[in-house]
Amino acid sequence: MFTHAEDVTTRPTLTGDVGMSASTHWLATGAAQSVLERGGNAVDAAVAGAFVLHVAEPHLNGPGGDMTAIFATADAPGEPQVLMGQGAAPQGASVEAYRRLGLQRVPGAGGLAAAVPAAVDAWLLLLAEHGTWPLAYVLEAAIHHAESGVPVLPSIAATIGGVAELFREHWPSSAAQWMPDGQVPATGSLMTNPDYAGVLRSLVAAGEGAASREAAIEAARHEWRTGDVARLATEFLAVPHRHSDGRDHAGVIRAEDFASPAAGVEDPVTITFRGHTIAKIGPWGQGPVLLQALMILAGFDDAELDPGTERGAHLILEALKLAMADRDAYYGDLEPAEAARRMEVLLSEEYAAARRAQLAEAASHAFRPGVVDGVEPATPPLDEPGSDGDAAAAGTGEPTVRGDGEPRGDTCHLDVVDRWGTMISATPSGGWLQSSPTIPGLGFCLGTRLQMTWLDEASPSALRPGRRPRTTLTPTLVLRDGEPVMALGTPGGDQQEQWQLPMLLRVLVGGHTPQQAIDAPTLHTTSMPGSFFPRTWEPGGAVVEDRLGEEVIAGLTARGHRITRAGDWALGRLSCVTRDPATGRLGAAANPRGAQGYAAGR
């Protein structure tokens, strides 16, 4: 048993046989579980919970954003699939066009950073193909909360407070929605969004009279892409507005961008680790980072992989640095054949062994991608915080954890498993209320995922029309003997893979229960270029929870890690659901940090 597996955890270990739900907000968990209790399957429940997250955590996600999910159905348990809800760059978004505007990087806030919104389209696609409930039933909870109100969380109030001056001076439509009386809403007050409720009702109305449940949902998808949402969003963002570079620009997204189908289903990328199959999204996201790190660590003895020891923490940080360097050097929305070729190399035993040999006893402060034959590795700008590259940090990228450990929020996450064995893990994000001005009549804004692209044609993640930005959204599905046994994930931008790695090691190697693994202290490296504006890095940086222990932290410092203490309970918002294929018993666990995420089940 690894260290930090206390007998008493912050939450009980949930078990049952009807269904389990876990998410970053109790209202989403409750909505999902309510669907399971009334006979809906995991897909019905996940979609219901996801739309509630738009209302309950608007500072962390929104309908104008993006999402990825990974799921396996009861009919095909051994064939996990990726739900791709990451929209592409509009046709008017290119390196050349943005350079002409005097930009060196894609802004972190404002319409120029908007990819085609794909979250809603993806959820509707999943519901049509694998759900059982009509759309009106699934959206009932979200409509209720949008009209009746949800309590303002401290983090929502803090987020609005941080951008209140921007709203008042430059984004009056955002001030009207999020500061209706001209003031930052008080924690605990009720926050409504009648405009978004109207959008959801219009999606339901679009399918009235359709010949089937599926046809009604397809009508809603068509309405989303070609109706009032697309028209109002593109017309509004065409008017110049303030961006995070301190200047006013018009957005480039147009109605024809909106109209193109954005969502899809893809095969995952997988590896085998300690007898388990780990399934992730492909290199158009950062999912393979987790797989690469596991492949590197697979060559060490079990006892060496304890995140609660100096040796284990050091190996984890160093393996992540190598995987993250490969992410920035080789990942992107590549042609399928080229993506497959790179993954074959990067996830091979031979490559992992070569990278493993690069791990030293001291912390590395270098950007060290590996060698992929025939590919020149991209080297992104390596600006440290406080450098010229950080000068325009007035806007916010993804609201995640700063390098100095200061929390800035996160994204959202949702996991569901039903009695029949369908299991899904999803990470919705983007379209945060601080992303760009709220669109009048819709109650939400578009996302800023294009900030993850580079204005450098040589980069595999260059800004190119029709190409997806290399997203950080990356849930995980774990299978054993061809059956899904755990779905997990976390918000956190660049930290998503990093916080999942210690949890997986604690469960799959160290014998922790999922709740013990979530509760245990965690850590991450900042020794990679950040995915979000202003895209700085801190070479050798490591952020740790103080509960890791003085001896371990001192040992990491002695090895050369530039340690930032984040406090006792600050890092990670992990949740998961589990299923034992032999017995059908289900389980769930949720993060206690922030007193917001909850699991439920029966």
Same domain? For 514 and 551 the reply is yes
Beta-sheet strands, E only, within 465-597: 476-480, 483-489, 523-525, 541-544, 562-565, 575-579, 586-590
Read off the DSSP letter of residue 426.
E
Is the residue at 164 inside a domain? Answer: no
The C-alpha atoms of residue 107 and residue 244 are separated, in whole angstroms, by 6
The domain boundary, picked from 356, 388, 416, lies at 356
For 487, the token pair is 């779905």
In a domain, 492, yes or no: yes
* pLDDT tens string 238-279: 999 999 989 999 999 999 999 987 799 999 999 999 999 999
* Local structure of 590: helix, strand or coil: strand
Q: Kindly state the average pLDDT of the residues 364-385.
A: 92
| β-pairing verdict for 586-590 and 476-480 | unpaired
Q: Which domain holds residue 415?
A: 14-149+192-267+400-601
What average pLDDT does this structure show over 549-561? 98
Contacts of 384 (CB under 8 A, 6+ apart): 390, 536, 537, 538, 539
Confidence class of residue 384 from pLDDT cuts 50, 70 and 90? confident
Average pLDDT on 336-350 reads 97
The predicted model gives 315-339 an average pLDDT of 96
Question: Can you give the pLDDT at residue 398?
Answer: 47
pTM of the model as a whole: 0.94
Q: Are residues 426 and 567 in the same domain?
A: yes
| Residue 256 sits in the same domain as residue 320 | no
For 35-57, what is each residue's pLDDT tens digit? 999 999 999 999 999 999 999 99
Share of the chain above pLDDT 70, in %: 96
Percent of the chain with pLDDT strictly greater than 90 = 87
Predicted confidence at residue 404, as pLDDT, reads: 37
> Are 263 and 326 contained in the same domain?
no
Contacts of 187 (CB under 8 A, 6+ apart): 152, 153, 154, 157
Contacts of 59 (CB under 8 A, 6+ apart): 155, 156, 159, 160, 399, 409, 432, 433, 434
Give the per-residue pLDDT at 8: 78
Confidence of residue 7 (pLDDT cuts 50, 70, 90): confident
Of the residues 356, 383, 411, which one is the last residue of a structural domain? 356
Last residue within a domain, chosen from 321, 339, 356: 356
Q: At residue 548, does pLDDT exceed 70?
A: yes
Beta bridge partners of 589: 576
What's residue 521's pLDDT?
Answer: 96
**121 is a domain residue:** yes
Strand runs (DSSP E) across 374-529, as ranges? 414-418, 423-429, 476-480, 483-489, 523-525
Whether 32 and 95 share a structural domain: yes
> pLDDT tier at 532 (50, 70, 90 boundaries)?
confident
Give the chain's domain count.
2
Cβ neighbours of residue 77 under 8 Å, at least 6 residues apart? 421, 479, 482, 483, 484, 581
Average pLDDT over residues 446-468: 92
Residue 409's H or E segment, with its range, is none
- Which pLDDT does position 387 carry in this prediction? 58
pLDDT at residue 295, as a whole number? 98
The CATH number assigned to the domain holding 593 equals: 3.60.20.40
User: What one-character-per-residue DSSP string does 144-163 give?
Assistant: HHHHH-EEPPHHHHHHHHHH
